Structures are given as C-alpha cells and as structure tokens.
Amino acid sequence: MSLLAHGSGGEVLLETPPLIRYTTLLGDPDATTVLHRLDAELDWQRPTLKLYGREHPIPRQQVWMGDAGYRYSGRDFTPVPWHPEVLRVRDIVQSRLDAVGIEARFNSVLLNRYADGSERMGWHSDNEPELGEAPVIAAVSLGMNRPLRFRWKDRHAPAFNVDQPHDSLLLMGAGVQSRLEHSLPTRRYPGRRISLTFRWILSRND
Ligand SMILES: O=C(O)CCC(=O)C(=O)O
Ligand SMILES: [Fe+2]
C-alpha cells in the first residue's frame, strides 16, 4: 500500500515522492521543555567546512547523536551518545509513524540550532552513501517556525516552502532526497529554533 494511503492524520504536501507533515508531536508544555533542555544541555558545535578550498564556520550550530558515525562534506563526525530526551522523541516519532503504517527506524539524528533568523542551512540533499538508496528522514521542529524551501532537481515544477511550526514533524519519504533539494533560508525575525533530523545510517553490516 502506498505511503499516501498511510498518511492519515498528516497533511500530504507531496504524494510522489511522499512529503507529509504532522502537527502536535509532543504537545505543550512538553515540547517547550524539550526545546529548553536541548538548548541548555547539548554541547552545540559550529564546525568549519571546506568549500572550494576555504574553511567556513557553518551558519548554525549542530550536534550529531546516535549509534553510527557519519561523513558529511568530506568530514567525519563522531556522534555523541543519545540524550535521554532525544531518544524519547525518537521513540515517539517512530510510534507516531507506526500508527499510520510507516515502519521507519532511526539510529542517528542531526540536531541543528538556529539562534535567530540570520542562521540558516544551504541547498542540499541528504543523499550521502551511508543513508542508502532511498533514505526516509523525519524532521522534528521546536521553537520558531522556519520554513524549509524545496526545489526539484529537474526544475519541472516551481520551488515551494513548507512551514515547520513548533512541535511539528516533517516526513521526507523515499525519493525526496533523490528528486529534490532543500534549504533553510534566512528570515528577518528573531527567535531560536532547534530541529532534529532523524535518519538511519547503514553500518558495514547492513
Ligand atoms: O533545520 C531544518 O529544518 C533543516 C535541517 C536539514 O535539512 C538537515 O538536518 O539535513
Ligand atoms: Fe537536510
């Protein structure tokens, strides 16, 4: 059966490839408490990445967490162990998806922290080899709503924005990474945001 048929409870933004948004993942005050705890308790990093031979600090902060290492823009990132709240959110995401027939499992998460509207993420697809052929990525948003912008690699349709309100979950299903790119553009407003993008990273044995 298709993911679409299983998208019940979510807002189907694209059918093929599946892009589905769910609201009120944790409920408040829980979601706000998690935002504050992650903000205060994680060891946020601002690594530099090499682009065209020059080192640039990334325009946001990040933490790699979970069971498996990850290679990104030519750098190896060793994950930190699961924070109990992140593991709890991971399990809630998995059961929320289970409930609509999507059996996704996640062993890693990239957490991104945007201090205000001036921090951002550039155009990319999450298509590194260790994510496999057709990765399923679940992005949880906490704090300020920052729209994610999508564009088709073949430009057959216009680019579009997806709002990511506090306590929402955006499911990027199989094919989203191969057919589209996404970015988090700057905005002229303040407000902190933390996103948690859960993934499955293949080990050599998978
Ligand atoms: O923070 C966001 O909404 C985007 C994050 C993202 O694209 C990623 O972690 O790969
Ligand atoms: Fe991404």
The ipTM, to two decimals, is 0.99
| Count, residues in the chain | 206
Where do the structural domains in the chain lie, given as residue ranges? 11-45+57-199
DSSP tally for the chain: helices H, then strands E = 3, 15
Q: What is the pLDDT of residue 70?
A: 72
Q: What is the DSSP code (8-state) at residue 144?
A: S
Question: Can you read off the two tokens belonging to residue 160?
Answer: 């579009």
Task: Pick the residue whose CA is nearest to atom 8 on ligand 1.
Answer: 197
In testing the pocket of ligand 1, which one of 111, 112, 113, 126 has its CB within 8 Å of the most ligand atoms? 112
CATH top class, domain 11-45+57-199: mainly beta
Residues with CB under 5 A from ligand 2 (ion): 126
Task: Pick the residue whose CA is nearest to atom 6 on ligand 1.
Answer: 197
Does residue 201 contact residue 124 with C-beta atoms inside 8 Å? Answer: no
CA of 168 to the centre of ligand 1 (A): 13
Which residues in the chain land under pLDDT 70?
Answer: 1-8, 72-75, 204-206
Half-sphere exposure of 34 toward its Cβ, with a 13 Å CA cutoff? 26
CA separation for the pair 4, 15 (Å, rounded): 6
Does residue 149 contact residue 169 with C-beta atoms inside 8 Å? Answer: no
Q: What is the pLDDT of residue 82?
A: 97
Question: Can you read off the two tokens belonging to residue 37?
Answer: 């705890």
CA separation for the pair 12, 73 (Å, rounded): 31
pLDDT 10s digits, 44-103: 999 998 889 999 999 999 999 999 777 766 667 789 999 999 999 999 999 999 999 999
Q: What is the pLDDT of residue 73?
A: 65
